[in-house]
Structure 1
């Protein structure tokens, strides 16, 4: 104190206070003023999500009444099938790396996207190419099915959505290889991932301008432009009820948003590097996040904290995907060339799916849990199933 003097100490305290203030400002959530249609959309989401939440909770209570021995037996049967998975078929998907794969809601079709700018639809399980979707000019990052496509939705309706590096988002039908609509407003920023709201009416997109957007496909307009991350938003997922969305940012943070109020209800802090993948569990309150720090973290929305960290891979985690309920499993894909399956209850490893010669870019499980698909930098996708 004698050497520094009183003025120097005061100056040091002021500098520390300013630094702390700057750090707090970086994590402030910014809210844009929304159009009048946003209020109607939030009301529609509330009316959609509340009955579904009631049904999910009723189902959880019913499951709780089942004797523990019976539940464990069912769980062990599921895990036994996961451990018995082998490659059923392998197919070259394109001339460039495949970036994403997704099963159709009826499980009879697989959509893949590629860095060539093409998206392709394949029949399952014979891996025959049925349609090539042409419209993107640069790397396609993601392609997803409408929740009711191949089920109750007409083939001529908007059944798929895809996004690319130049910021273009295109909507597709199943009876044409040309896009039926373009969603404009992201360019020149990259759109890395997108996801349909469970109702099918809304589409969430992740943009490299540090924001994510919510689009009303019925009204054909952007109803929400949400900031909150200090770096690009890379992935988005919706809760099964449709009440919440979760976003993964390259700032190493995840956020959970209440779509009915627009508020950020949970801040996920704990990863050491950028988040590249996020997904909601069917139970409605667990979230898995995959990161460049090679780990997968499990978060509990009820406790608003991380409940488990899985040291999953030896390279970055590119994709995470929950499948099944409490007796289900979690799939993680990584640049170490493997995809892994983890038990839902204690997050123990069940199976390593090794067979690709390059980075595994994406993975998905069919709705009936019969197949798992993985796509890779080696330009192939593989179907995994239990050997009969």
Structure 2
């Protein structure tokens, strides 16, 4: 497996790019790449040329910290420091709903695999909020408990939830916190199951394996990437290679690799069979906030793609093979 750089776009936004996600292909268009920036805009990019697919969206009054795409490819969501989540149609940019979140209450979000629920990691409220995507009503609030004997984290509240991920079967939800713990929930019962431990610094990104609903990958400020059995509560592997915070992680659609982005300015590709980094890309000149593999699907798509975004305002696109 390897990455090959295809293209980089400098000054893709006017300020740091903190959020990125692929919008799946539809019957009428290929997949698009979605980015959110501290310049308060959300932008859509065509997948191979990295040219703007539409004018920038200006629906927020402060920086955009998270974006998410619905599995249908027709709608997407963006969240901002302005305390709102904006839901919109991808092709027209028309707003569908505005979800209110108190200050610093949204640091990560993701649609479930069926597209019926949007999970929002609730920052200092120490919760994950679940929104029904047909009515845009709040249907559940999952409280993230502190582990027994845990010390309060730097927020003083004991919990600050940064990241969220759905298992590919939609049955489990995992969220990462500032204190390094990962909470796993049974979504159908809205029930907390257990913590996964091993990190002791902020877990800013996590993702389940697309081919095994038990396997969870986590990216942490402690410079390590962990691989967990989320059902058995066990740490399966710890991978090291980055020399600073690991800010983002995503799994390849074939389940054979993960990619990570770090404040050490690199993107790394990891072979899961070997559990080691097999390639380091140095396209960026500042910390890498997002890495995302293009989802499968769409006409004429034969090769894999990975994209990365950075504080340096640039987007890089790679061929994954």
TM-score range, shorter chain: 0.7 to 0.9
Q: Is the 8 A contact 1:266 1:301 kept in 2?
A: no
Q: Is the 8 A contact 2:128 2:144 kept in 1?
A: no
Q: Does 1:163 align with 2:163?
A: no
Q: Hey, which of these two has a bigger chunk of strand by percent?
A: 2
In the aligned structure 2, how far is the partner of 1:82 from the partner of 1:135? 31
5+ residue gaps, structure 2, are 1-45, 146-156, 297-301
Q: Which residue in the other structure is 2:82 paired with?
A: 116
Task: Kindly provide the CA deviation profile for residues 54-107 of structure 1, in whole angstroms up to 9, marking residues without a partner as x.
Answer: xxxxxxxxxxxxxxxxxxxxxxxxxxx844231122110211111111111110
Q: Which residue in the other structure is 1:30 paired with?
A: none
In the aligned structure 1, how far is the partner of 2:143 from the partner of 2:236? 29
Equivalent of 2:169 in 199, 208, 216: 199
Q: Over aligned residues, Cα RMSD in angstroms? A: 1.7
In the aligned structure 2, how far is the partner of 1:294 from the partner of 1:122? 32
After superposing the two structures, state which structure 1 stretch, 316-325 or 201-210, moved more. Answer: 316-325
Q: Is the 8 A contact 2:140 2:190 kept in 1?
A: no
Secondary structure of the structure 1 residue equivalent to 2:78 = strand
Q: Which residue in the other structure is 2:59 paired with?
A: 93
How many correspondences in the alignment?
Answer: 257
Q: Does 1:328 align with 2:304?
A: yes
Q: Is the 8 A contact 1:93 1:112 kept in 2?
A: no
In the aligned structure 2, how far is the partner of 1:184 from the partner of 1:260? 19
Q: Hey, which of these two has a bigger chunk of helix by percent?
A: 1
Q: Is the 8 A contact 2:242 2:264 kept in 1?
A: yes
Q: Which residue in the other structure is 1:102 paired with?
A: 68
Q: Does 1:292 align with 2:263?
A: yes
Equivalent of 2:159 in 184, 189, 198: 189
Structure 1 residue 206, shift from structure 2 partner: 0.4
Q: Does 1:251 align with 2:222?
A: yes
The equivalences for 1:202-351 within 5 A come to: 202-241=172-211, 242-324=213-295, 327-345=303-321
Q: Is the 8 A contact 2:195 2:233 kept in 1?
A: no
After superposing the two structures, state which structure 1 stretch, 272-281 or 318-327, moved more. Answer: 318-327
Cα separation, partners in 2 of 1:87 and 1:229, compared to 1, 3 Å: same
Q: Is the 8 A contact 2:128 2:143 kept in 1?
A: yes
In the aligned structure 2, how far is the partner of 1:298 from the partner of 1:175? 37
User: Structure 1 length normalisation: TM-score?
Assistant: 0.63
Q: Is the 8 A contact 1:247 1:255 kept in 2?
A: yes
Structure 1 residue 280, shift from structure 2 partner: 0.6
In the aligned structure 2, how far is the partner of 1:179 from the partner of 1:136? 14
5+ residue gaps, structure 1, are 1-80, 154-158, 346-388
Secondary structure of the structure 2 residue equivalent to 1:161 = strand
User: Structure 2 length normalisation: TM-score?
Assistant: 0.76
Structure 1 residue 174, shift from structure 2 partner: 2.0
